[in-house]
Amino acid sequence: MVNLKVNYVKKTEYPIELGSIIESVGDELPSEEAIKFYRRAHDLFEKLHVPTKAATVERKIDLARTLATVGLPEIRKAISEGKYVYATKLIIRTFNDETVFIGLLEVALWMKKNETIGYAQIVETALKYLQELQVSKRHLLYVIKLLTELEQFKEALKLSMTIEDVELRSEIMAEITMGMLKSGEIEGAFKVAELIPDIHIRAATVAELRKILKY
């Protein structure tokens, strides 16, 4: 009976150890690659009913997703330890201006999601970079999304106006109005909705706003 118990414990310990090894491999990789390893570790911990380890890896996945652009291992580690100033210095030292701008927004978003004081200052620093650069087309939609999530609606709207495709611009503007509504800027949301160039998307957005507000 004792031997059976020992064998069962060993059989459980080995997969847990394997999960920890897979997790530690993820810790050494940039965000995109790290997520693949974290997912495997998370699945393993869930199957083995180790909720604390599964929750830890889930948080690492969330962090890696949020730091999609600047999620180098050292930067993610600093942020997970709450060393935000050090992380921002690393970002500024490592990347070009456009990536620094995006990276600072990503850090600020993580802090906002986790209700960490001081994210507004990082947003402010990021916006100083925005004054001096033109966001490339390949990053434009992502930047607008980040700015919307950070409730920087004025800047998000300004950038959306540079989108040439009318339908796409309209869809993005509709998303901005929903972001404004969620943050309590009801009047502003309706004003932006009325500016949507595509008549069908405009009508649908205004109808959706009224439906949510029940009037």
103 lies in some domain:
yes
pLDDT in tens, 69-98: 999 999 999 999 999 999 999 999 999 999
In this structure, how many other beta carbons lie within 10 angstroms of the beta carbon of residue 195?
15
4 lies in some domain:
no
41 lies in some domain:
yes
Lookup result for tokens 């201006």 = 97
74 lies in some domain:
yes
Do 46 and 80 lie in one domain? The reply is no
Do 201 and 179 lie in one domain? The reply is yes
Note the pTM of the prediction, 2 decimals: 0.91
Among 24, 41, 66, where does a domain finish?
Answer: 66
5 lies in some domain:
no
16 lies in some domain:
yes
Total domains in the chain come to 3
2 lies in some domain:
no
User: Looking at residue 210, what is its pLDDT?
Assistant: 94
Chain centroid to CA 56: 17
Do 79 and 128 lie in one domain? The reply is yes
1 lies in some domain:
no
Do 154 and 165 lie in one domain? The reply is yes
User: Looking at residue 8, what is its pLDDT?
Assistant: 46
User: Looking at residue 3, what is its pLDDT?
Assistant: 47
Do 188 and 143 lie in one domain? The reply is yes
Lookup result for tokens 């339908």 = 167
Contacts of 148-154 spanning 24+ positions with Cβ under 8 A: 148/175, 148/176, 148/179, 149/109, 149/112, 149/179, 150/105, 150/108, 150/109, 150/112, 150/119, 150/123, 151/179, 151/183, 152/123, 152/127, 153/179, 153/180, 153/183, 153/185, 153/188, 153/192
Please identify every stretch of the chain with a pLDDT value under 70, giving residue numbers as ranges: 1-12, 215
User: Looking at residue 6, what is its pLDDT?
Assistant: 43
Do 20 and 85 lie in one domain? The reply is no
User: Looking at residue 214, what is its pLDDT?
Assistant: 85
User: Looking at residue 116, what is its pLDDT?
Assistant: 95
Among 85, 116, 133, where does a domain finish?
Answer: 133
Question: Which domain, by its residues, includes 189?
Answer: 135-215
> What would the 3-class secondary structure string for 19-82 be?
HHHHHHHHHCCCHHHHHHHHHHHHHHHHHCCCHHHHHHHHHHHHHHHHCCCCCCHHHHHHHHCC
Do 154 and 210 lie in one domain? The reply is yes
